[in-house]
């Protein structure tokens, strides 16, 4: 088949299948530009770590000013495209305002990110230095960009927050929605395969391992069969919780209580009380107090016959 015939066939498909076309519409944000923006933001958050030449106290002011100027221009341009897509009445004006506000929040965001680096260093005995954490641990990239994307999400900027977290998802294999609320001192060990949904809320000093999912048990649909937006679908995790590899925790009304531990490969759709441990014993899911001497109950869920919690 000639290229002319292929072109005509493609043009015909554009007319027939409209759902995957964006022709004569608002200019969409550029993936390449957003990826560059993500990289530049990491340079500002961690000065001296990703530069090709070393930074000094004498030149850091000039370098950061140049970076911020580039970030400001690029972010304003991409946010304006996002707002145009959302039919904002004054996209240029609001893009400038949102960019200024996001940049104003960077010092506070960076302060929280420092706690994440500390959590990684203290949470992994294999780590030899903070420098190793920042340069080589994928959790630093994905958590840092999620925290910035979350600020844009709070400002109700469309498209761009998700594009920033997807850049980190592509690089690390960890998918954290920009809407997720995450407290300080957050550490994802090994990182790969983690999924955290939009309405999840995670407390302080939480540590999770590879393959963990904080997902939706189910979702409501409207009269046309489309998912209802904006409802609580994902679980909450209290302070000082540890969730081991490949645990799956589902549901907007599911809560993992503070100081609890969720074992590897556990499937949970009901809340776990504080100071408890959840793990499989044979085919049963056991939830008991972490200290055996304080245990007054043993809570099990029989997975074979679908029995409810038995206390």
Instruction: Confirm if 120 and 144 have CB atoms less than 8 A apart.
Output: no
Q: What pLDDT, on the 0 to 100 scale, is given for residue 292?
A: 58
Tokens 């958050």 sit at which residue? Answer: 45
Let me know if residue 137 belongs to a domain: yes
Instruction: Confirm if 205 and 199 have CB atoms less than 8 A apart.
Output: no
Q: What pLDDT, on the 0 to 100 scale, is given for residue 309?
A: 40
Sheet holding 207-209, edge to edge: 187-189, 207-209, 242-243, 261-262, 276-281, 284-289, 299-302
Q: What is the pLDDT of residues 162-178, one digit of tens each?
A: 999 999 999 999 999 99
d(CA 272, CA 261): 9
Nearest to 180 by CA among 122, 237, 96, 260: 237
Q: What pLDDT, on the 0 to 100 scale, is given for residue 54?
A: 85
Beta bridge partner(s), residue 268:
249
Q: What pLDDT, on the 0 to 100 scale, is given for residue 178?
A: 98
As for how many domains the chain has, the answer is 1
Q: What pLDDT, on the 0 to 100 scale, is given for residue 301?
A: 45
Q: What pLDDT, on the 0 to 100 scale, is given for residue 162?
A: 98
Is pLDDT above 80 for 308?
no
Let me know if residue 296 belongs to a domain: no
Q: What is the pLDDT of residues 50-63, one digit of tens each?
A: 988 888 999 999 99
Q: What is the pLDDT of residues 82-113, one digit of tens each?
A: 999 999 999 999 999 999 999 999 999 999 99
Let me know if residue 308 belongs to a domain: no
Average pLDDT over residues 276-302: 73
Q: What pLDDT, on the 0 to 100 scale, is given for residue 167?
A: 98
CATH number, position 35: 1.10.3130.10
Q: What pLDDT, on the 0 to 100 scale, is given for residue 295?
A: 45
Look up the pTM and report it.
0.90
Q: How, if at all, do strands 261-262 and 242-243 pair?
A: parallel
Is pLDDT above 60 for 305?
no
Task: Name which residue leads in pLDDT, 262 or 295.
Answer: 262
* Confidence tier at 300 by pLDDT (50, 70, 90): very low
Q: What is the pLDDT of residues 121-153, one digit of tens each?
A: 999 999 999 999 999 999 999 999 999 999 999
Let me know if residue 282 belongs to a domain: no
Let me know if residue 36 belongs to a domain: yes
Let me know if residue 260 belongs to a domain: no
Let me know if residue 283 belongs to a domain: no
Q: What DSSP string runs through 115-166?
A: HHHHHHHHH-TT---HHHHHHH-HHHHHHHHHHHHHHHHHTT--SHHHHHHH
Let me know if residue 127 belongs to a domain: yes
Nearest to 280 by CA among 303, 260, 311, 297: 303
Domain that includes residue 39, residue range: 25-172
Q: What pLDDT, on the 0 to 100 scale, is given for residue 213?
A: 98
d(CA 44, CA 212): 30
């Amino acid at each position: 088949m000639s290229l002319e015939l292929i072109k005509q066939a493609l043009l015909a498909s554009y007319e027939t299948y409209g759902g995957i076309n964006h022709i004569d519409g608002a200019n969409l944000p550029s993936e390449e530009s957003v990826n560059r923006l993500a990289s530049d933001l990491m340079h500002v958050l961690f000065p001296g770590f990703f530069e090709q030449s070393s930074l000094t106290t004498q030149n850091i002011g000039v370098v950061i000013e140049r970076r911020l100027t580039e970030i400001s221009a690029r972010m304003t341009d991409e946010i304006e495209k996002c707002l145009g897509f959302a039919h904002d009445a004054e996209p240029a004006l609001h893009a400038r305002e949102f960019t200024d506000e996001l940049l104003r929040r960077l010092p506070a965001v960076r302060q929280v990110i420092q706690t994440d680096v500390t959590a990684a260093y203290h949470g992994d005995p294999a780590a030899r230095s903070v420098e190793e954490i920042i340069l080589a641990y994928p959790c630093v990239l994905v958590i840092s960009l999620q925290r910035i994307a979350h600020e844009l999400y709070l400002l109700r900027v469309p498209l761009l927050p998700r594009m920033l977290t997807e850049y980190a998802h592509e690089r690390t294999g960890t998918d954290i929605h920009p809407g997720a609320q995450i407290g300080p001192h957050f550490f994802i060990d090994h990182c790969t395969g983690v999924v955290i949904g939009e309405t999840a809320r995670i407390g302080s000093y939480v540590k999770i391992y590879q393959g963990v999912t904080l997902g939706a048990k189910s979702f409501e649909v409207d009269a046309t069969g489309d998912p209802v937006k904006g409802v609580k679908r994902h679980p909450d995790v209290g302070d000082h919780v540890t969730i081991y590899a490949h645990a799956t925790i589902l549901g907007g009304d599911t809560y993992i209580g503070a100081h609890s531990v969720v074992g590897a490969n556990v499937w949970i759709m009901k809340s776990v009380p504080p100071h408890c441990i959840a793990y499989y014993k044979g085919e049963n899911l056991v939830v008991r107090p972490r200290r055996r001497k304080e245990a007054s109950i043993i809570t099990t869920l029989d997975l074979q016959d679908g029995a409810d919690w038995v206390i």
